[in-house]
A = this chain, B = another copy of it.
Amino acid sequence: MQPTDVCAIGIDLGATKTDVGLVESGGHIRRRLRRLTLVKGGPTVIKADIVAAVNELLDPHASTPVGVGVGLAGQVDPKEGNVLFAPNLDWRDVPFQRDLSQALGLPVVITNDVRAITWGEWFHGAGQGCNDLICLFVGTGIGGGVVSGGKVLSGSTNAAGEIGHLVIDWNGPSCTCGNRGCLEALAGGWAIARHAQEAVARDPSAGSTLLEMVGGKQESITAETVARAARTGDPLAKQLIDRVAEALIAGSVSLIHAFNPSRLILGGGVIEGVPELVHRVAEGVFQRAFVASTQGLEILPSKLKENAGIVGAAMLAIHTFGKKERHHE
């Protein structure tokens, strides 16, 4: 346990906005700021914006944060904290950990965005007090983080948890990754939009509600349109959501058989748009997975929602740097 005054900076660096928070080890966000992410400026401009935000957050009269945690959508080299590849930011081989640390004069740790969320849910969200959990985040894409035996799994090259790319339908639709039938290709936001657009093209009369919602522009149908139409009771939208539920059940059964968690936490835009999915996935999983694998299992919605990223990144920083700092005190 950390003393209550230990705090860290948590940063959720997205392609459109960057959230920066000063977070206490108990999970309380003392102060927070939001900045637009100036992707076109590249790492240098983004770094300068973050430094300005952190300096604005810091209270010269309070204790210095033990460090900074950053979550971003990308592949990170765990040793040096280099961002190997972050397509949404258009970064390749950016030594962001080193650069940001030098600019701030604080230790920095960088992780994948969904793994940061997992730290947040684990320490202060739906995963609290639990040693074995999976966070399954269903947004435009699908990603996740896994805690097993009280450790966040990272894998041999820091790529563990690519659970949007479990194959659940080996003859199924093609995925953006080049493979077929990935969970993401059936239940990710982009796939829901694609399937909806295809269904409307096949049968415009069945798709009339969806089309109406987007002013007749078929290509403007998104997962959010489908979620809204399903809430009004539109049969095609409900059918599309049924398929998403089935895919999430199949993927969750696979995850539970592989990892045997005591909690499965569902979050992300698609889940927030169709909250009943949590209940439906739970029902399906308990019907289909091994009894031995589901003993004591709880399937819950994410609790921290839009705060998960900054809280989680800060918890990772406290976990990484907190103890060392305390030795210096």
Chain A residues close to B by CB (< 8 Å): 75, 84-85, 131-132, 146, 148-149, 151, 153-163, 165-171, 177-179, 181, 246-247, 250-251, 253-255, 257-262, 288-290, 292-293, 295-297
Contacts and interface: CB of A to CB of B under 8 A. Distances in A.
Interface pairs A-B: 6 shortest CB-CB: A155-B260, A156-B262, A162-B257, A132-B156, A160-B260, A170-B250
Contact of A258 (B162, B247, B253): B162
Nearest to A84: B292
Interface centre among A75, A167, A257 (most CB of B within 10 A): A167
B157 A254 contact: no
A165 B260 contact: no
Given A149-B151, A251-B167, A254-B254, A259 B160 contact: yes
Prevailing SS type, chain A contact patch: loop
Given A149-B151, A159-B290, A169 B169 contact: yes
A166 B169 contact: no
Number of copies: 2
B292 A166 contact: no
B159 A148 contact: no
Contacts of A251: 167
A180 to B, nearest CB: 8
B250 A167 contact: yes
Q: Kindly name the residue among A131, A132, A146, A148 whose own CB sees the greatest number of chain B CB atoms within 10 A.
A: A148
Contacts of A170: 168-169, 246-247, 250
Contacts of A288: 178-179
Nearest to A293: B159
A165 B167 CA distance: 12
B257 A166 contact: yes
30 contacts: A85-B292, A132-B156, A146-B258, A148-B160, A149-B151, A151-B151, A154-B260, A156-B261, A156-B296, A157-B262, A157-B293, A158-B260, A159-B290, A159-B295, A160-B259, A161-B260, A162-B257, A162-B290, A163-B258, A165-B257, A165-B289, A167-B168, A167-B251, A167-B254, A168-B168, A168-B169, A170-B246, A179-B253, A179-B289, A258-B259
